[in-house]
Amino acid sequence: MTDPAPIDPAPIDPAPIDPVTLAVLKGRLEQIADEMDATLFRSAFNPIIAEAHDASHGLYDPATGDTLIQGKSGLPIFVGSNAFAVRAVIAKAAKSGGIAEGDVYIFNDPYDGGTHLSDFRLVRPYYRDGQLVCYLASVGHWHDVGGNVPGNYNPAATECFQEGMLIPPVKLYDRGQYRPDIVDILQSNSRQPGSLYGDLNGQLSALELGGKRLDALIDEYGLDVIRAALIELRRRAEQLMRANIAELPDGTYSAEDWLDNDGIVDEPLKIALDMTIAGDRMTLDFSRSAPACQGPVNIARSTTVACCYVALKHVFTEVPANAGVLDPIEFVIPEDSMLSVTAPKPVGGYTETILRIIDIVFSAVDKAAPGRANAHAYGTINALSLAGHREDGRRWVMFSFFGGGHGGHPEGDGLSHGNAPISTATIPPLEILEAAYPVRFTRWALRPDSAGPGRHRGGLGAVYEIEVLEKSGGEAFLFADRGRHAPKGVAGGHEAAKNAFFFDTDSGEASPPMASKMVGIKLRQGQHVRIESPGGGGWGDPFERDPATVLRDVALGYVSRERAAADYGVSVGDDMTIDEPATEALRRAEGRS
């Protein structure tokens, strides 16, 4: 696996393109990718795609696989990772007779251009007049791909084989010839073969539609113009990225953070970044990070690169989503690192690791340019499943990701109860969950004092408490993090509350021994589990927060009076007014005024 190389010289040197046509074509090309996204969202069977939009589509370079155009609606983390998928297909084809018109490859190999086994990728070369113009790719998170745990979030996995089936790049279509055997193999390895079939067909429809739309666009503008636009758009993204990097002062900026553990061995895992700025180039060096671990929080090198892309897109939002973003960036990731694993190291819990990388990229940018970046968001996917059997023996599995707060930022407080930075997924309504599964939510609320204090505080995390209604009880599985290391603040802001998980036992309430990861928690009818999710970190010195704003936070119950005094130096009296002298004394005592 190599890093995305600078773009190869095009086979034909394209004519220069005028800036106005370029602006027009940028919109037209992005619309094609957006429309591919929409086609799959609407026709998917599986709610992870249909509701949570855990999918993505785009156009990729015919020689290198680099991202040329990416939709705006797809899952952010896939924006970066699909390029590696196309590259894997190019490499596979090179070894087996070359790519041909009418081929469609399918695979989910996380070590070769994938993310985790649930994400299935389809890659199709797009030809025009016998020439390979680009690749179209589709990725979607399938409902079930086998393995030990339904839904494939298995915190106890020590090899990828316990996580699900692993399919290398194989041809689903060979020169236009459909190979149903491949689908038979896939279906017989899933607990949800029908859903799998529906999603697969949705992805094929999206690829077909992308090809049709591209045909029409080339009819209208001619192949040379489209090709010139693709190259020029990438050059401009690179130029914009370089301009952004150049605004950061030269130097090396270090940040590190921890994962609680890997779910197998209860030891913290360090994720460390040394970010070097030299003019308009950036080096992201992860050498000080932990080596590969036993449990499923490892990631492949391509995933590390992809999530840095997501982090940088969050910092430099106006840079278009194509490979130009990565051109001025060099990655240093040692081969024995947990951020660069190969088969069969388990990778199912990749979400926790990439969220932590995004956090430390924010921290490093903050060190380079204090105040520029957001504070950490809640930093865990909080995947919880509750499962059991109904009276008639049918199995039920409720699986959902739970939210938390976003970090404070230069423009204001963080958003309370947001979705994870790597996704745009919404949470299902509790009424839908209660109608589908034998559970009752007893709380669905904001979590007071969970936000990291700051001049702009973090958003609040949430409290979700769920009771099992089924007579035979149930079992809970938790895959999360941030139970021992809180989301951090930036620019003088403070950290947020940690993640906390509780479950009823016959002898009272308990928490997982490994804080944030646990399998097979037995629950009787009437017993509860409760997630108290982290808020976001704070931005700026909390003692600089306007006391009137702190008072409002207290009045609304976001911040307790105790924390207002301790974290913000604001004393709120019994009558819910600010005690001015006491506040002054508190703020002076800290020696900050």
Partner 1 sequence: MSGRYVIGVDVGGTFTDVFILDQSTGSAEIRKVPSTKPDQSQGFLAGIRAGVDAVPSIATVVHGTTVGTNALLERRGAPTGIITTAGFRDVLEMRRRDRPATWGLRGEFEPVIPRDRRLEVSERVLADGSVHTPVDTAAVTAAAKQLLAMGCQAVAIVFVNAYANAANEQAALEAVRAVWPNEHVTASHRILPEIREFERTSTATLNAYLQPVVASYLERLQAALKGDGFGGDVLIVQSNGGVMSVDTARQVPVRTALSGPAAGVIAAAHIAGSAGFPNIVTCDMGGTSFDVSLVADGQTELSPQTSIDFGMVVRQPMIEITTIGAGGGSIAWVDRGGLLQIGPESAGSDPGPVCYGLGNDRPTVTDANVVLGRINAGRPIGGKLSSLDVEGAKAAIETHVAKPLGLDVMAAAEAIIRVANSRMAGAIRLVSIERGHDPKSFVAMPFGGGGALHTGALIKEVGLAGALVPRYPGVTSALGCVIADMRHDFVRTVNGLLDGVDMAELDREAAAFRDEGQGLLDRAGVGFEGRETLLEFDMSYLGQTHTVAVPVPVRDGAGASLGIDRETVRAAFEARYREVYGRILEGLAIRVLNLRVTAVGKRPKFDLSILAPGDGASLAAADRGKRQVYVDGAWHEAGIYDRMALPVGTVVPGPAVLEQADATTFVEPDLEAVVDEFGNLLVRRKEAS
CA distances from 258 to 267, 351, 365 (A): 10, 14, 18
Give me the 468-507 binding string for partner 1, x by CB under 8 A, dash otherwise.
-x--------------------------------------
Q: What phi and psi, each to the nearest 5 degrees, are found at residue 322? A: -150, 180
Binding status of residue 285 toward partner 1 by CB under 8 A: no
Site for partner 1 in 107-166 (CB under 8 A): none
Binding status of residue 444 toward partner 1 by CB under 8 A: yes
Binding status of residue 258 toward partner 1 by CB under 8 A: no
Binding status of residue 556 toward partner 1 by CB under 8 A: yes
With vertex at residue 509, the alpha carbon angle to CA 507 and CA 510, rounded to the nearest 5 degrees, is: 100
**Shortest Å distance, C-beta 555 to partner 1:** 6
Binding status of residue 511 toward partner 1 by CB under 8 A: no
Give me the 28-57 binding string for partner 1, x by CB under 8 A, dash otherwise.
x--x---x--x--xxx-xxx--xx------
Binding status of residue 397 toward partner 1 by CB under 8 A: no
Site for partner 1 in 178-207 (CB under 8 A): 194-195, 198
**Shortest Å distance, C-beta 401 to partner 1:** 9
Neighbouring residues of 470: CB distance < 8 A, sequence distance ≥ 6: 388, 389, 390, 391, 396, 438, 525
Q: How many residues does the chain have?
A: 593
Binding status of residue 344 toward partner 1 by CB under 8 A: no
Residue with smaller CB distance to partner 1, 456 or 494? 456
Binding status of residue 24 toward partner 1 by CB under 8 A: yes
Cα–Cα distance measured from residue 298 to residue 353, given in angstroms and rounded to the nearest whole number = 7
Cis peptide before 249 (omega within 30 of 0): no
Q: What phi and psi, each to the nearest 5 degrees, are found at residue 251? A: 145, 180
Cα–Cα distance measured from residue 283 to residue 364, given in angstroms and rounded to the nearest whole number = 12
Residue 408 identity? G
State the first-to-last Cα distance of the chain, in angstroms, to the nearest integer: 53
Cα–Cα distance measured from residue 52 to residue 45, given in angstroms and rounded to the nearest whole number = 12
Binding status of residue 391 toward partner 1 by CB under 8 A: no
Binding status of residue 443 toward partner 1 by CB under 8 A: yes
Site for partner 1 in 398-437 (CB under 8 A): 403, 406-407, 409, 411-419, 421, 424-427, 429-432, 434-435
Binding status of residue 27 toward partner 1 by CB under 8 A: yes
Binding status of residue 563 toward partner 1 by CB under 8 A: no
Q: What is the DSSP letter of 323?
A: G
Residue with smaller CB distance to partner 1, 79 or 290? 79
Cα–Cα distance measured from residue 223 to residue 236, given in angstroms and rounded to the nearest whole number = 20
**Shortest Å distance, C-beta 387 to partner 1:** 17
**Shortest Å distance, C-beta 142 to partner 1:** 13
User: How many positions of this chain bind partner 1 (CB under 8 A)?
Assistant: 76
Binds partner 1 by CB under 8 A, chosen from 442, 472, 577, 593: 442
Q: What is the largest CA-CA distance in the chain?
A: 81
Site for partner 1 in 202-241 (CB under 8 A): 236-237, 239-240
Binds partner 1 by CB under 8 A, chosen from 1, 369, 397, 445: 445
Binding status of residue 527 toward partner 1 by CB under 8 A: no
* CB atoms near residue 201 (< 10 Å): 15
Residue with smaller CB distance to partner 1, 463 or 519? 463
CB 531 within 8 A of CB 463: yes
Binding status of residue 76 toward partner 1 by CB under 8 A: yes
**Shortest Å distance, C-beta 504 to partner 1:** 16
Neighbouring residues of 250: CB distance < 8 A, sequence distance ≥ 6: 277, 278, 279
Cα–Cα distance measured from residue 478 to residue 399, given in angstroms and rounded to the nearest whole number = 10
Neighbouring residues of 170: CB distance < 8 A, sequence distance ≥ 6: 105, 106, 107, 182
